[in-house]
Structure 1
Amino acid sequence: MSTNMQHVYWAGGHVLMFITGLRYLLAWAVFKSGALGYWYKAAFTGAFISYAIVVKKSLGIPSSADWFTRALADENFQYFGLCIFWLISKPVGIALIPYWTFSAFHVATFVRTTVIPKFFPPTPGANGGPSQPSPIAKMIQSFVKQYYDPSMKLVAYVELAIFARVLFGLLLWRNSLLMPIIYALFLRSRYFQSPFTRQAFASLDAAILQGIQHPQISGSVPQLKTYYDMFKEYLGRATGTVLVRADAPPKPAPAAAAGTSGATH
């Protein structure tokens, strides 16, 4: 498959996720998604296509044990593997939100860099300077730059909410034990790789501490703070890190030539 065709399929996968995912999420938000499981499957099929192309381009075809070692440390492969899990599992509506958000930005970037120039070519720059993109392209670029970081922060919080959903789903017999286990392993990787995820954990920790230290709660259960500190210590030992750390700089917004040359989110 040529590079251009890979780019088209990559973009097509994101478009499929964006359109079908939006349809499902709108119904899910008003509790009417029960009969729309095929929209859910179609959305994750789109994500599967896009991530498969990116993983193949960045990691190549599996050929050795070293490939799997590199793959497990690659965030695109992690989202690809999780995508397959969501695709074959019982629908969890909130799980669409991160993938849909990534696709929204990539669709916008694809439209700006590939579609719009065909209909509204850049205008020549003054005095031989660089050409200027059309006003529509500038508007999309400004939108992506303005909302990318806030959206990635939102995704990090949503990913914590997804874990809460599958954990309570286990207690209510709505999903299998495998779902929270797999998602916990995914979140552990996100914690190491994403400053947005670390910031989300830090905010959650601060909110829990604020609740624990409230006079009514601390007065009724003074040992609660000690128990929570012990929980964080055990969690840190189990995951090989501490619960709260937010020191790495965030990633930039998608590049102008997003294509299949880099991360998908």
Structure 2
Amino acid sequence: MIEQLDDSAYSNFTGLGGSQYKIKIQNNELHKELKTLGSNFENGYFMISEKTPTSFYSSDGKYLATLEPDNSIYVETSDRKQKYPKITLKPEVLVGMIAISSQSQRLAILTDRSIKVITFEGDLVTEFDWENQIYSFGKDEKTSEKVIAINNKGDLIVVGVSNPRPGAGINPNLYLLNLNGQIIGELSESYKENYYLVDEIWFSYDDQYIFTGSSDNVRVFPGNSESLLKIACHRLKKHSDIRKSDFVKYCQEE
């Protein structure tokens, strides 16, 4: 059984949809709690509206990027005190996810065809091809087949499978990429029956750990691409419940 820690011992992380996670790793054990600040999750998928703005948060909660229906992006501090120049994407670009690196002040934008890394000022750092499917839902909403995260140094990207397309086969579920688009690590084994689906990915502040969250469980990986811990968690119902039972109770080293 994992010993519960005081609130002061936790590090707070904000999920891309606004959900707040309290996480502490100590002696290879993980302690976790979910507190919802607000979320764009619906039926287990991160939804992007085609009619209203959609906001994405950095893992430290300091910055947010707002995607407008006209494909413009506004980056600002979460307290709204500092704003950056508007970033405009071509109208035909389908955005599936935006990840934010506070330390390097970079965005990683996952589209239907590529991954683009740009600065908060809108300068292009890199762009490389990466296949991704954007699904349309009712009520003018869409969701991405994959999700993305960028580390605090702004030089590593993780891509995970959130909503696999039918008949896609069994493939590794998490990829660690450099800025050239080269795969330098596969972070999760394949499952014979089911994908391990990932709704959110984020890096710890020191880039030593990669956290992945889904509606079923949470896993933790080190930044060097090998699985460190396999965590069994109580089910987080639609990413919105605030329950003491969301604490991780068992932790097994892989």
Same fold (TM over 0.5): no
Q: Compare the two structures and name the one with the higher strand fraction.
A: 2
Structure with bigger RCO (C-alpha 8 Å, 6+ apart): 1
Q: Compare the two structures and name the one with the higher helix fraction.
A: 1
So what's the TM-score if we normalise by structure 1? Answer: 0.25
